[in-house]
Amino acid sequence: MSRSGWVLLSALLAAALIPLLLGGVGLLEHLRSFPVGWLLGMLAMIVLGWSLNALRLRLLLGRKTLGQGRATAIVMATEFAICATPGGAGGPVTLAALLARHGVAPARGAATYAVEQLSDLLFFACAMMAVLIYGLTHALTPYMDNLLESSLILMASVLAGLVLMVRFQAALLRASSRLLVRLKVKRQRRWRWARMFLRFRQALRRSLGLPRRLLLSVFLLTAMHGLLRYSVLYLTLLGLGKDIDWAWSFLVQMLALGAGQLSLLPGGAGSAELASAALLAPLVGKSGSAAAILIWRFVTYHFYLIAGAPVFLHLAGRPMLERLMRSRDRSSENGNS
């Protein structure tokens, strides 16, 4: 097994051990009391979310490019790659490679992925505004006030970073070029990467220049998927008899998944559980938060790996999976050399 494979396995073990150690004896009682029908319903929500994202992909590419079934399979394979690779780096590579088999240029595939991510970011911004309005109109405890402030800081930082990247993209390109020269990257490779970036930028502009009605439909599908996925923790807590507002469950997920992304572990496994445990325990207790984390992460992370792995292998094949899993090893070796 490659080094990245061991990293994924270790992260999955840590993701399971953290709630088990936190929950103690009361964890099993909470898990036994959780309705099986609720678990199946939440898994159905994830499948519906994949279907919505597949329709979003078809709208961005043109419905004649892909059928709904094929688009859903590509979405599942892409989500698997995101969950199985450090920092989700395998997601855009997988999407571009699978779309290329249907005649979509790699630059357009990467631009489509970027538009999807921008749409997700817009949903987060709108959801944060709604949560902020909710917080201003309700009495908050000091802990909830800190939770809201931390989420606002995180969202503002992401938006500011995106604006700075767009505003100073020319300076970033020049700095990247100088860095590649210092790293002694061959000139031919540097020119190839530069051409790839220019093609991507052109494709991104064309995607963002699609009719407004179509882009609005894309955002509505994104919002529907976001409401489904980020209601899983809320429904989990309700199933466990823990009644907290949807707004606070959304903030917990936002901060926990943000911590997972910063850790650069596959799917944030381990770090997301640790962060969510720290955030949820003051609200619902240690055993309740541990049970909620186990169920929530199973639905929104482990299920993505279980259902997505066979689809990924069917569409992309084992060679691409091995290439994705070894990508971190190769990058570390190049850095050492």
The pTM for the full model equals 0.84
149, two tokens: 């402030």
- The ranges assigned to domains in the chain are 3-124+157-336
3-state secondary structure of 99: helix
For residue range 167-219, what is the model confidence (pLDDT) as tens digits? 777 777 778 777 777 777 787 777 787 788 888 888 888 888 889 999 999 99
Q: Is pLDDT of 158 > 90?
A: no
Mean pLDDT for 271-276 is 84
Q: How far apart are CA 195 and CA 59, in angstroms?
A: 27
**How many beta carbons lie within 10 A of that of residue 33, not counting itself?**
11
Residue 318's contacts (CB-CB under 8 Å, 6 or more residues apart) are none
218, two tokens: 């894309």
Report the chain's mean pLDDT, rounded to a whole number.
83
For residue range 214-253, what is the model confidence (pLDDT) as tens digits? 999 999 999 999 999 999 999 999 998 888 889 889 988 9
